[in-house]
Amino acid sequence: MENNKMNILVEFELSGEPVSLPYYTSGNFENGDEESALTAVCTVLQHRKQKAGCVVIHNLKIHYNGQLVFEKSEYCIPNYTPAL
pLDDT of 2 reads 43
Q: What is the pTM assigned to this prediction?
A: 0.84
pLDDT of 30 reads 77
pLDDT of 58 reads 98
pLDDT of 1 reads 40
Phi, psi of 78 (to 5 degrees): -65, -30
Regions of the chain with pLDDT less than 50: 1-3
pLDDT of 26 reads 81
